[in-house]
Amino acid sequence: MPYYQASIEMKYDEKNVVNENLIKVYKCESWNSGKKECYGRWSEVAASIDKIRNVVYVNTTSLSAYVIGTLKKLSIDFNLNKNVFYLKDLVKLRGMVVDEYRNPVSNASINMKIKNTNISAKTFSDENGLFTLEFLAPENEGNYSLILTAEKHPFLSFNSSFELKVVKSKEVSIVFPDTVRLRQGENLTQELSIVNTGQADLYNLNISLTGIPSEYYTLNEKIEKLEVGEKRKISIFFIVPKNASTGTLSATLKVFNDEVSKEKIFGFTILEENKTAETKPLTTGLFGKIALPQISLEPVHILIFAVIAFSLAFLLKRRKIKAEERTEIKNSLLELKDYLKAKEKPLAQTQPIQETEEEFEEEKGIG
């Protein structure tokens, strides 16, 4: 029978409907009756509901498949990477879109906006309903309202807001060597640098040094105020007693107050005292005071002394000098010879000294 308009009545069981006000009617114009499948899209149509008779009325001008039911609600389970954020901190919001039966919902549109700012972000859920939003926190301190929504047809959209707390970061860094080395009886002034790397001024910073005896160092243990970006240099004066035990100690520098704390561990090494060889005056003369070390003179050492004396005499032969100067040089060489003889060394090793003396005797006429 031909028709121009028809009215369709569809009954529903109120026991299966949680909220009758949410009942909707959808139609599919490309319905496959054999496979009972919609080849097109389900679109919502206008309908009237008789809640007493539990009947839905729809007017239509074409044959289509119709379905009635209530819309499922979308919901988002999410978490933030931090509880409190610093100014312009990176915020990571991860979540999952699900329906009211906890089934994941893919391709849902997720939107985020921070109220009273220009900060917003948008993405879509993947096939498992998962999504991630990344954005920068506001540049001013405060408690902000973050609004999060999720939408997908024909689900009821999700809309929620929660608080985002933003504060100034308070951080401090320490610049100090990894190792400090001193010998027994030595002292050293070492520089410690303290930098405010946060976003707020710091007050009443304490400085402590542990791990080494307190009598081994002195330092200023208080900073009243350290502004943002400020670098303060502190001198630590180390004093190691001569009787200190050698070895390496693990020391810890700590900078702290009620809001921040930073530590630096370094090695404090005490080395054995550097003892130098004693010297003994040998002679004074034309070249001033000559000092010889108190060492064990092996034959090779005596030979070296002899070569030096011979070379000096040879050079002086080639220049004219006064008789008194020659006498002083001769006396110096004789004293060197006597010193070597006192060590009871073989005559062969002192022979160059004797030859040098004879050469001076032969050259007396030069002047």
Q: Which amino acid is at 277?
A: A
Do the domains spanning 75-167 and 172-271 agree at the CATH topology level? yes
- How far apart CA 341 and CA 357 sit, in angstroms, is 15
Task: Give the CATH number of domain 75-167.
Answer: 2.60.40.1930
- How far apart CA 131 and CA 96 sit, in angstroms, is 6
- How far apart CA 336 and CA 325 sit, in angstroms, is 17
What is the full per-residue pLDDT of the chain (367 aa) written as tens digits? 555 778 888 888 887 777 788 788 888 888 888 888 888 878 888 888 888 888 989 888 877 888 887 778 899 999 999 999 999 999 999 999 999 889 999 999 999 999 999 999 999 999 999 999 999 999 999 999 999 999 997 788 999 999 999 999 999 999 999 999 999 999 999 999 999 999 999 999 999 999 999 999 999 889 999 999 999 999 999 999 999 999 999 999 999 999 999 999 999 999 999 876 444 444 444 444 444 444 444 555 566 666 666 666 665 665 555 556 666 666 766 776 666 666 554 444 444 444 444 444 444 444 3
The domain limits of the chain are 6-70, 75-167, 172-271, 279-362
- How far apart CA 63 and CA 315 sit, in angstroms, is 131
* Residue 90: predicted pLDDT: 96
Helices (H), the chain: 299-317, 323-342, 347-362
CATH superfamily of 172-271: Immunoglobulins (2.60.40.10)
* Residue 282: predicted pLDDT: 46
Give the neighbor-by-neighbor strand order of the sheet with 120-124.
84-86, 158-167, 142-151, 109-114, 120-124
* Residue 68: predicted pLDDT: 83
- Tell me which residue has tokens 């002086």: 316
Work out the end-to-end distance of the chain between its first and last CA atoms, rounded to an integer number of angstroms. 156
* Residue 303: predicted pLDDT: 65
